[in-house]
Amino acid sequence: MWGIIRQRVACRSIPASILEQSLQRIPIRPVGYALRNYSSTAKEMTVRDALNSALDEEMSADPKVFLMGEEVGEYQGAYKISKGLLEKYGPDRVIDTPITEAGFTGIGVGAAYYGLKPVVEFMTFNFSMQAIDHIINSAAKSNYMSAGQISVPIVFRGPNGAAAGVGAQHSQCYAAWFGSCPGLKVLTPYSSEDARGLLKAAIRDPDPVVFLENELLYGESFPVSAEALDSSFSLPIGKAKIEREGKDVTITAFSKMVGYALQAAEILANEGISAEVINLRSIRPLDRLTINASVRKTNRLVTVEEGFPQHGVGAEICASILEESFEYLDAPVERIAGADVPMPYAANLERMAVPQVEDIVRAAKRTCYRSGSMAATA
Amino acid sequence: MASAFSATKIIQPLPLNTTLTRSPENALFHPRKTTPSSFLGTTHKLRLHEPNSARFAKRRSATVVAVSDVVKEKKLKSNTSLSNLLITKEEGLELYEDMVLGRGFEDMCAQMYYRGKMFGFVHLYNGQEAVSTGFIKLLKKEDCVVSTYRDHVHALSKGVPARAVMSELFGKTTGCCRGQGGSMHMFSKEHNLLGGFAFIGEGIPVATGAAFTSKYRREVLKEADCDHVTLAFFGDGTCNNGQFFECLNMAALWKLPIVFVVENNLWAIGMSHLRATSDPEIYKKGPAFGMPGVHVDGMDVLKVREVAKEAISRARRGDGPTLVECETYRFRGHSLADPDELRDPAEKAHYAARDPITGLKNYMIENNLASEAELKAIVKKIEELVENAVEFADESPAPSRSQLLENVFADPRGFGIGADGRYRCEDPKFTEGTAHV
C-alpha cells in the first residue's frame, strides 16, 4: 500500500487528469441548482411519482418485469409507489403476496434464475432481514457460484433508514450491510431524477440490485429535466454525482442526508467555506474515483450517513481515502453517522440520534479548523 | 465398491404406511377434479389460478388412471405378464443405469475424499437413488430441478455429465461451475439444475419461483407451450422450517407447477426426525395448505416413479402442486465428516436389505426384462465412466488466478445496458428520446 502511495506522490500530474476525467463523466449542474424551486420552467416531480413512472415505463417496455410485494396491488402500495399499476398491468404482473418475506423473496430469486425480471418490494428494508438469506445467498452469490451460468436480474426495493417516530425496529439503515456483500449492487437515490434514472437502470441490470429509497423523501418534489422524463433515460450505476461544486471541504452523503448536506453547504457558504457536496447514488460499487478526486481538490472530507457508525459507509470511504489520497488530507476525516443506539422513539431523542444539519456544519468547520474543539460532538 | 451391488433379499414391504395413503380428499389424483376450496381467498377473481381447465385437458390426450389402483395391482403380483408391468425394458435399463451411476459416483467420491482429492463438505446420496431416478428421469430438459447440498446425484440424473460434476468436486476449472461452486452448489443452466443450496429450505422458495416463472411465461408472456414443471428436493429436517410452509402456501394459492419432494431419510445429521417433529407424517402437511400429500416407499424406484408420474402430470396440466414424501434412507453418514454413531445398526441393516438398486435388478430379472449379463454390463460401463471422470478431473487444470474476480456480476461495469448490449450512458441518443427501449 505504501508503495502505491509513493508512486502517486511521484506523479503529480495524475490527479489533475483523474479530476478532469471524473468531471467530464459526471453531468455537472450549476451551483444554484441545489436550491429547489428556483426555476419556473423546470418541471417538478415528487420522488414517489418518479418511482411510479419508472416502474410503469419499465413494466410496459419489458413484459418479463413484474412487481411483487406486500400491499403493492390493491392497496396501491404501502407508500403508494405502485399506484395505478395493478389496474394497468393486472394481477399477474403486480402481485400481492402473503406476509412471507423469506418465501416471496426466494420466489422472486427463483423466477429471476429461470428468466424473469422481478422487482421485489419490501415494505421497509427492516423486513428484508427476514429474507436476507435469499438476498445474499441465493441472489448475490449465484452468478459467482455458478460461474456465470445463472445471473439474477432482480431488484429489491423499498424504504430504508429512519422515518419519523417509527421506533427501533423500523428505522435501521441497511446500506452498509448490503454494501459489504460482493455480488450485489446497492443504490441510494436522492432526488426524483436519481430515483427515475437509477430504478430504470436497476431493473434493466442483469445483476441483483438493492434499491434503498427513503420514506421521508417520497413526498419531496424536485425539478426534473426533459431528458430525465424520457422513457429511455437511465443513470449509470456506480457513478456519484457532484451536487454542488466547492473547493474547501468535500461532504459525501447519500439518500436523505444529501438534502441535509446541501443545506449545510448553504450555511457554510455564508460563513466563507465552500463545500463540495457529493451525492453517492451508488453504495456498491462505490465511486471511489469521484470521491478521491474531490478530496484531492479540497483536502478535507466529511462523510455523512444515517446508519450506525461502526462498519458504516463512512468508514469505508475513510479507508478508501487513506489508501488512495492520504497525503492530500489536510485534516482528519470527519465521520458523521447516526448515534450508536437503536433508534429511540421520543421525538427529541430521535432528533439526537439522527444527524442534523448543524452536525454537518460543525464537522465541516472542524475540518477547516474554524472551530475550537476537535472533540466529536453529538 | 462391490458391496454396493451384491445381491440381497427380495423387496419386503415396510411395516410403516406404504404407498399412497390418501389426503382427506378421496380421489387423490383424479385428473378432472379441481381442488375443492372452502377458502374464500381462492375465489377472488383476480388471482392467478385461471380455471382454464379446458385448455389443459386438450393438451393431455393420454388417459390417466388413478395411481392407487395401478400400483395396488402391481404390488401384489410379482410374476405378471409383460403387458401389466410398470416399465418397459428400455425404461428399466435406463433407470438401472441411472441408479448405478449415482451409487458408483458417490462411492468414488468417498474414495477421492479420503485420498484428499476432494475437500470441504461432501454429502453423499447412497441409498436414496430411487428418489432421484424415479422423479428426474420423467422430466424434460426444460423442467427445473432445485436441490440441496446433497445434490451430486440430482445433477447426474438431470443430465450433467459425470466428468463435469467430478471436476467441480475436485475444484478444477472444467467443473460445471468452473470450480467456483463446489459440492454443495451444483448449477447447470443447460440442464436447468438451479442449485445446489447449502441452507436447508433455501431451495424451496427458489424452486417455487421457477415454477412461478413457468406459469407466468404461459399466462402473461403467452408462450402457450410452456408447461415446465419444477421439482424441489429437500429433507425431513427442512419440513420444520418456515420457508417450507410459506412456499406450500403460495404454491397452492397460485397453483404453481411444482412438486415438493421430501426425501425423508429419518435423520438430520444426528437429529432423528421423530425427535424434531411434532407430527412426523410429513405428507399430512400438504392438505393443510390445499394440495394433495402422498407418502411413498422411497426405496422402490418403481413406486416412486408411479407417484412421480402422476404428480408431474398434475403440475403440467395446471392442477397445482403436490407434496410427495418419499421414505428413504442414506446408507452413509450425513457427510463424509460425520462418524454416524447415533443411528441404530439394526435400522441401517433393515434399509440396507432394501437397497433400491438390488430391488430393481431383482424385479427386472424376475420379470424377464433383462438378463444378469446385461445388467452386469451396465455396471461395468458405469465403472468405466466414473473412472474416466476421475481421470478427467485429475488431469484438468486448477482455476487460474484471474478467475478469482470473474463472474461476480453479469454486468461488472455497473452501467445500465441497453437493448443493443452497449452501455446506455454511452449511447448519445439516449437523452433524445429516440434510443431503443
- CA B9, CA B358: separation in Å to the nearest integer? 8
Residues of B in contact with A234 (CB under 8 A): 416, 424-425, 430
- CA B292, CA A162: separation in Å to the nearest integer? 45
Residues 6+ apart with CB under 8 A from B375: B96, B361, B364, B365
Residue B6 located in a structural domain = no
Which of B183, B248, B424 is most worth mutating to test chain A (most A CB atoms within 10 A of its CB)?
A: B424
Residues of A in contact with B414 (CB under 8 A): 185, 205, 236-238, 282, 285
Quick one: B212 and B241 in the same domain?
Answer: yes
Residues of A in contact with B182 (CB under 8 A): 145
CA distance A370 to chain B (A): 40
Note the pLDDT tens digit of each residue in A215-267. Answer: 999 999 999 999 899 888 989 999 999 999 999 999 999 999 999 999 999 99
> Average pLDDT for consecutive 10-residue bins of chain B (437 residues)?
33 36 40 36 33 37 38 47 75 95 96 90 94 96 94 96 94 92 92 90 95 93 89 94 94 96 91 90 94 95 95 94 96 88 91 94 92 94 96 93 83 65 63 43
- CA B390, CA B98: separation in Å to the nearest integer? 18
- Asked whether the beta carbons of residue B206 and residue A282 sit closer than 8 angstroms, the reply is no
Quick one: B163 and B273 in the same domain?
Answer: yes
Q: Say what the pLDDT of residue A15 is.
A: 44
pLDDT (mean) for A337-359: 92
Residue B216 located in a structural domain = yes
Q: Say what the pLDDT of residue A41 is.
A: 55
pLDDT (mean) for A56-85: 94
- Asked whether the beta carbons of residue A145 and residue B146 sit closer than 8 angstroms, the reply is no
Quick one: B359 and B326 in the same domain?
Answer: yes
Strand-pair partners of A212:
A158
Residue B350 located in a structural domain = yes
A-B CB pairs within 8 A amount to: 220
- CA B300, CA B356: separation in Å to the nearest integer? 6
CA distance A377 to chain B (A): 37
Per the CB < 8 A criterion, the answer to whether A247 and A297 are in contact is yes
Residue B269 located in a structural domain = yes
| The dihedral formed by the CA atoms of A221, A226, A227 and A230, expressed in degrees to the nearest 10 | 90
What secondary structure does DSSP assign to B79-111, as a single string? S--GGG-SS-HHHHHHHHHHHHHHHHHHHHHHH
Q: Say what the pLDDT of residue B161 is.
A: 96
Quick one: B72 and B155 in the same domain?
Answer: yes
- CA B437, CA B434: separation in Å to the nearest integer? 9
Residue B42 located in a structural domain = no
pTM exceeding the 0.95 threshold for the entire prediction: no
- Asked whether the beta carbons of residue B197 and residue A234 sit closer than 8 angstroms, the reply is no
Cis ω before A332 (30° cut-off from 0) = no
How would residue A9 be classed by pLDDT, with cut points 50, 70 and 90?
Answer: very low
What secondary structure does DSSP assign to B31-57, as a single string? TTPPPP---GGGG-TTSS----HHHHH
**Could you say which of A110, A200, A227 has the minimum Cβ distance to residue B209?**
A110
**Could you say which of A133, A207, A232 has the minimum Cβ distance to residue B409?**
A207
Which of B184, B213, B413, B436 is most worth mutating to test chain A (most A CB atoms within 10 A of its CB)?
A: B213
Cα B176 from chain centre: 18
Quick one: B321 and B369 in the same domain?
Answer: yes
**Could you say which of B146, B246, B437 has the minimum Cβ distance to residue A231?**
B437
Residues of A in contact with B141 (CB under 8 A): none
Q: Say what the pLDDT of residue B415 is.
A: 60
Per the CB < 8 A criterion, the answer to whether B124 and B132 are in contact is no
Q: Assess A24–B contact: CB distance below 8 Å, yes or no.
A: no
Q: Say what the pLDDT of residue B73 is.
A: 47
- Asked whether the beta carbons of residue B196 and residue A145 sit closer than 8 angstroms, the reply is yes
Which of A132, A146, A207, A227 is most worth mutating to test chain B (most B CB atoms within 10 A of its CB)?
A: A146
Per the CB < 8 A criterion, the answer to whether B11 and B74 are in contact is no
What secondary structure does DSSP assign to B250-308, as a single string? HHHHTT-SEEEEEEE-SEETTEEHHHH-SS--GGGHHHHTTS-EEEEETT-HHHHHHHH
Quick one: B183 and B265 in the same domain?
Answer: yes
Q: Say what the pLDDT of residue B67 is.
A: 44
* Exposure b/e, A36-73, CB count within 10 A at least 16 = b: eeeeeeeeebbbbbbbbbbbbbbbebebbbbbbbbbbb
- Reduce the secondary structure of chain A to three states and give it as a string: CHHHHHHHHHCCHHHHHHHHHHHHHCCCCCHHHHCCCCCCCCEEEEHHHHHHHHHHHHHHHCCCEEEEECCCCCCCCCCCCCCCHHHHHCCCCEEECCCCHHHHHHHHHHHHHCCCEEEEECCCHHHHHHHHHHHHHHHHCHHHHCCCCCCCCCEEEEECCCCCCCCHHHCCCCHHHHHCCCCCEEECCCCHHHHHHHHHHHHHCCCCEEEEECHHHCCCEEEECHHHHCCCCCCCCCCCEEEECCCCEEEEECCHHHHHHHHHHHHHHHCCCCEEEEECCEEECCCHHHHHHHHHHHCCEEEECCCCCCCCHHHHHHHHHHHHHHHHCCCCCEEECCCCCCCCCCHHHHHHHCCCHHHHHHHHHHHCCCCCCCCCCC
How would residue A24 be classed by pLDDT, with cut points 50, 70 and 90?
Answer: very low
Residues of B in contact with A201 (CB under 8 A): 415-416, 424
Q: Say what the pLDDT of residue B78 is.
A: 46
Per the CB < 8 A criterion, the answer to whether B176 and B189 are in contact is no
- CA B108, CA B288: separation in Å to the nearest integer? 42
- Asked whether the beta carbons of residue B220 and residue A138 sit closer than 8 angstroms, the reply is no
Note the pLDDT tens digit of each residue in A307-330. Answer: 999 999 999 999 999 999 999 999
Nearest CA in chain A to B404: A144
Strand-pair partners of A276:
A250
Which of B42, B187, B221 is most worth mutating to test chain A (most A CB atoms within 10 A of its CB)?
A: B187
Residues of A in contact with B430 (CB under 8 A): 230, 232-234
Residue B10 located in a structural domain = no
CA distance A27 to chain B (A): 11
Quick one: B250 and B340 in the same domain?
Answer: yes
State the total domains in chain B: 2
* Exposure b/e, A329-360, CB count within 10 A at least 16 = b: beeebbbbbbbeeebbeeeeebebbbbebebb
Q: Assess A65–B contact: CB distance below 8 Å, yes or no.
A: no
Q: What interhelical angle do B89-114 and B129-136 show, nearest 10?
A: 130
Which value does ipTM take for this structure?
0.73
Residues of B in contact with A235 (CB under 8 A): 416, 425
Quick one: B166 and B300 in the same domain?
Answer: yes
Residue A13 has pLDDT above 80, yes or no: no
Residues of B in contact with A232 (CB under 8 A): 418, 424, 430, 433, 435-437
Instruction: Say which CATH number the domain at B99 has.
Output: 3.40.50.970
Select which of A57, A58, A70, A101 is catalytic: A101
Quick one: B312 and B423 in the same domain?
Answer: no
Residue B288 located in a structural domain = yes
Quick one: B383 and B419 in the same domain?
Answer: no
A170 is catalytic: yes
Quick one: B339 and B428 in the same domain?
Answer: no
- CA A341, CA B400: separation in Å to the nearest integer? 45
Residues 6+ apart with CB under 8 A from B182: A145, B120, B121, B168, B169, B171
pLDDT, greater one: B422 or A359: A359
Range of the domain at B435: 411-437
Cα A20 from chain centre: 24
DSSP B202: T
- Asked whether the beta carbons of residue A103 and residue B243 sit closer than 8 angstroms, the reply is yes
Q: How much is the mean pLDDT over chain A? A: 88
- Asked whether the beta carbons of residue B243 and residue A106 sit closer than 8 angstroms, the reply is yes
- CA A283, CA B320: separation in Å to the nearest integer? 41
- CA B311, CA B319: separation in Å to the nearest integer? 10
Residue B155 located in a structural domain = yes
Cis ω before B196 (30° cut-off from 0) = yes
Quick one: B319 and B357 in the same domain?
Answer: yes
B278-285 contact pairs (CB < 8 A, 24+): B281/B17, B281/B325, B282/B236, B282/B239, B282/B323, B282/B325, B283/B21, B283/B23, B283/B323, B283/B324, B283/B325, B285/B239, B285/B245, B285/B248, B285/B323
A358 is catalytic: no
